[in-house]
């Protein structure tokens, strides 16, 4: 059975559980620069380069992944949010992109297989690809609105390099996440499509949008509906929302997406809103109660956590929705559905 078919089958039985944040869990371990740098001999300071820990402290990444599996995660992600050539250039580690992604994929794959062998319940690995710190839709120079730091083909190549290494590492899906620019997401989709042609098989994608204001738009200005219509052609195995805000603020946007998306819905919000020090104070039980309401209303298929979430949050969510029925995937009437910044449906 393919990974897509297996995930769809599991999601018909119950609400599945995604994992939580890596960044805050790594921060709690108070690692030193030497932990990050290891013996790689890189010329730049590596502290804060969480992705490189797959090479220098794989035990830390394995420990966090294991904690999420213990908490009940059915799907775990790789710690590769910034493991691309653009982001790693900040640490002069762009030459290690392949090694980082392969190593991170293998860590998650080995642990997912270990837990599946224990109880026979399928576990899945999502290869996480972040948005990079570049945007294709907007100029970083207010004096030159036509200027772009990167073009579409270059970003496709960056994404393809990462996706190829993640697949080599054993991931089931490529997760294009925290999408603040819809055109960036399209570059990620193109990269995976090119990889599929090279491999001669499907590489299913999961796509997750992040909202930048309470009106429900991302940085490139697209509404939730417009974003879905812009990426639906990729036939993602999941569509959803992550990061952005806490579950309370995402409520209306989850409802909208659940009604129009004819695929699985994956939502993993932050643990509330950050306090004045940038920390997240929302208790696991609070987060779990908020997302349980979505599950009780049949609006979600997979739930997890983003910034500030921990294994305790994931365990609380798993317990809260254990008896909830999964969302039934809608079958919208055929229609021409187009997307500018707003959605347009030709009746």
Q: Note the pLDDT tens digit of each residue in 53-105.
A: 999 999 999 999 999 999 999 999 999 999 999 999 999 999 999 999 999 99
CB–CB of 45/104 below 8 Å? Answer: no
In this structure, the number of other CB atoms found within 10 A of the CB of residue 48 comes to 15
Q: Is the pLDDT of residue 347 over 80?
A: no
Torsion of CA 153, 127, 309, 234, to 10 degrees: 60
Q: Closest Cα partner for 263 from 1, 7, 2? A: 7
Q: Note the pLDDT tens digit of each residue in 242-301.
A: 998 999 999 999 999 999 999 999 999 999 988 888 889 999 999 999 999 999 999 999
CB–CB of 163/195 below 8 Å? Answer: yes
Q: In what order do the strands lie in the sheet with 205-209?
A: 16-17, 302-303, 264-270, 238-246, 205-209, 173-179, 124-129, 75-77
């Amino acid at each position: 059975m393919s990974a897509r078919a297996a995930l769809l089958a599991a999601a018909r039985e119950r609400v599945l559980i995604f994992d939580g944040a890596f960044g805050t869990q790594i921060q709690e371990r108070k690692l030193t620069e030497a932990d990050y740098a290891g013996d790689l001999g890189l010329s730049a300071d590596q502290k804060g380069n969480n992705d490189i820990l797959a090479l220098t402290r794989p035990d830390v990444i394995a420990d966090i992944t294991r904690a999420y599996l213990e908490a009940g995660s059915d799907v775990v992600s790789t710690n590769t949010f910034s493991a691309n050539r653009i982001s790693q250039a900040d640490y002069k580690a762009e030459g290690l992109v392949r090694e980082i992604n392969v190593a991170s994929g293998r860590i998650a794959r080995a642990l997912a297989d270990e837990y599946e062998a224990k109880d026979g319940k399928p576990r899945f690995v999502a290869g996480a690809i972040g948005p990079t710190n570049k945007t294709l839709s907007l100029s970083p120079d207010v004096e030159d609105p036509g200027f772009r730091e990167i073009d579409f083909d270059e970003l496709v190549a960056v994404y393809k390099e990462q996706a190829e290494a993640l697949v080599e590492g054993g991931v089931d899906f490529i997760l294009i996440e925290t999408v603040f620019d819809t055109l960036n997401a399209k570059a990620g989709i193109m990269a995976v499509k090119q990889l599929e042609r090279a491999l001669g098989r499907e590489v299913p994608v999961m796509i997750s949008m992040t909202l930048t204001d309470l009106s429900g738009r991302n940085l490139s200005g697209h509404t939730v509906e417009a974003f879905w219509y812009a990426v639906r052609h990729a036939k993602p195995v999941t569509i959803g929302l992550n990061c952005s805000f806490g579950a309370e603020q995402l409520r209306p946007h989850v409802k909208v997406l659940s009604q129009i998306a004819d695929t699985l819905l994956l939502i993993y919000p932050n643990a509330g809103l950050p306090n004045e020090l940038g920390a997240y104070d929302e208790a696991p039980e609070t987060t779990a109660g908020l997302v349980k309401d979505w599950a009780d209303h049949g609006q979600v298929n997979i739930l997890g956590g983003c910034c500030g979430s921990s294994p305790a949050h994931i365990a609380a969510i798993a317990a809260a929705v254990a008896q909830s029925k999964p969302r039934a995937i809608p079958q919208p009437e055929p229609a021409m559905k187009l997307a500018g910044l707003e959605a347009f449906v030709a009746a």
